[in-house]
Structure 1
Amino acid sequence: MTTPAKAPPRGADMMQHLIETTGAASRPAADMADLADMIRTLLAVEAGRDTRVRLGGHLFDVVITGSGVQARCAVALMDEIQGGCGPVIDDPESGWFYWLVPPGSSRYWQPHTHAVCLGTPHTITLPSLNRTVPPGPYWFRPSASDRLVPTAPLREALAQIRPEPTPHAALAARLGIAS
């Protein structure tokens, strides 16, 4: 009698096994918190789920603009400049585009009349990598592992095209910041 071949364990199953076998007395090293978050994020992406991630760190910051016709023109311009625009998320409910830019960009981003740049300590929920149409937030330009949207050309494109509506007041209200 033969038994069916067992499928190799999935990443989530291996992580759960590691957690269960380390016991309650184990404490992760302080410098491993980022690694643990990264592993959880990768496992969620592998499972095709929306994933909440912290901005900044070693991943990316985000520039937020309106998602109207002008913003779509800015994506087309970035397509030309970049040979295919880096990752952009469209959130139809809020009417915003989220442009994924290099980490640390928020520290150097100067005030802009049509865009806001956020990094640490904020978070963003990334749609599943296979979500490329609404409903809900979706990848207007899918994420590619080899590129982000460069801030200098993006900033120039946004200044030239001026996407509306601007996110400043709505974002300030959402974050509880007095404007």
Structure 2
Amino acid sequence: MNLERWILVGVIFVTILAIFTLIPRKRAREAWVLLLFLQVITWPAGLFVVEMGWIEYPIQLLKRTNQYNRTSLTFEFFIFPIVAIIFSLYFPNVKRLGAIIYYVCYAGFFTCIEVLLERTTRLVEYHEWTWYWTLITVIISLFLNHKYYLWYKKKLIKVKA
């Protein structure tokens, strides 16, 4: 295994560790809803971006998936949805400016990691893509996912009452 695959395995391990340490069992249903909804957003968006040739993921953890689906399965279906779960479950009760800062910090950190990986590894390659597109799409994805979560939570409270 090359360095890039070890990075993917390490990130998956850290993500699994985050699942067990940061997601309370009593909120597992909410976590599943967040995970599935974000995958509905990221799969078509990621597929579109890759098929347009704007971004490429040359190194995949599973080689066979690369011929059928050239998006990053690790990112689109696992890492980013788990980050979005943690984002929404721990969303602070703040006013508008605080929420904007929270969004920008999460998306900014995620964007910095992707840019670092793009510059130092072959895990991701930008063609007609730039860091600010990543920042914008991550913010939009987190926003849509969190709004859906708030709607779901409101409906869940009504059902329990």
Pairwise same-fold verdict (TM > 0.5): no
Larger proportion of strand? 1
Larger proportion of helix? 2
Higher radius of gyration, 1 or 2: 1
TM-score scaled by structure 2? 0.25
TM-score scaled by structure 1? 0.24
Quick one: higher RCO (CA 8 Å, sep 6+), 1 or 2? 2
